Amino acid sequence: MEKRSLTLKDDQKQSNAFRLDGKVTVVTGAGSGIGRAIAQRFAREGAAVRLVDIDEKAAAGTAREIVQAGGDAAAYTCNVSDQRQVRELFQKLASQKPIQILINNAGISHIGKLETTTEADFDRIFHVNVKGIYNCMLSAIENMKAHGGGVILNMASIAATAGLADRFAYSMSKGAVVAMTFSVAKDYLAHKIRCNCISPARVHTPFVDDYLRKNHPGHEQEMFRKLSESQPMGRMGKPEEVAALALFLCSDEAAFITGTDYPLDGGFFNLHG
């Protein structure tokens, strides 16, 4: 069999495999942590990134960094749990250019089991982590349908499918994210809208540092080491690693992938214990 050598054109195609040139990408919770890393990585690949966060200063800071590096970014303040706010923002964005990629990353955490989760705790988690994603998908879907398709990527968690201690409400919310992902993927196949989710294990973000300062003052380094070693690979994930998987799933290289929950857990789910 004749062995075909790679041409320059082939090399260029491979090097541009994950490019998102000009694609309008909405990233919620983009002011810090995973959302910030995703916004930065997508901008480097040519996406027109629209950063959405309830923290106006954080979102503006990330957008400024991207623009200074030569990228296309703009920041918007929005509470994803408020459907009216979300609808108005998405209508504004869609009136400028079609929304091609939506990354639902905004979320909050809660520590507590059933008996230590108050009704207020439960409602707060549900409104941000579940209703927030519902609001954003609902506000983007018509625009995607009208312009020939798009990609939705939701941020779930291994808490959705693994029993984690003291994460009752948080686990509930992330289980709902996985279920919504599968449902949207199924219902919008004919409209060429792909929908997947990523389920990370513990990722080192500012949230982890804040948690350690509040709950383990004076023992932050010791607890950080314990949390890291609790994962089979012996460390926490990096926001940039989540961003890399997000880029693949939103690129044309993943055109045959939809309705899938991707674990990004350093071996936690299958190798733990």
Catalytic residue among 134, 170, 188, 262: 170
H-only helix segments in 126-253: 132-146, 168-187, 206-215, 220-229, 239-250
Q: What is the pLDDT of residue 255?
A: 97
Decide the pairing of beta strands 150-155 and 193-200. parallel
Q: What is the pLDDT of residue 221?
A: 83
Decide the pairing of beta strands 72-77 and 48-53. parallel
Q: How far apart are the first and last CA of the chain?
A: 48
Q: What is the mean pLDDT of each run of 10 residues along the chain (273 residues)?
A: 48 68 97 96 98 97 97 98 98 97 95 95 98 98 97 94 88 97 98 97 75 75 76 79 97 97 80 58
| This prediction's pTM | 0.89
User: Is 85:139 a contact under the CB 8 Å cutoff?
Assistant: no
For tokens 């998405």, the residue is: 90
Q: What is the pLDDT of residue 270?
A: 63
Please give the angle made by the CA atoms of 51, 71 and 26, to the nearest 5 degrees: 25
- Domains of the chain (ranges, CATH numbers): 20-201+238-266 (3.40.50.720), 203-236 (no CATH)
Give me the torsion for CA of 95, 96, 102, 108, rounded to 10°.
-80
User: Is 228:235 a contact under the CB 8 Å cutoff?
Assistant: yes
pLDDT digit string, tens, across residues 42-61: 999 999 999 999 999 999 99
For tokens 């089979």, the residue is: 232
Q: Is 170 among the residues known to form the active site?
A: yes
In this prediction, what percent of the chain has a pLDDT beyond 90?
71
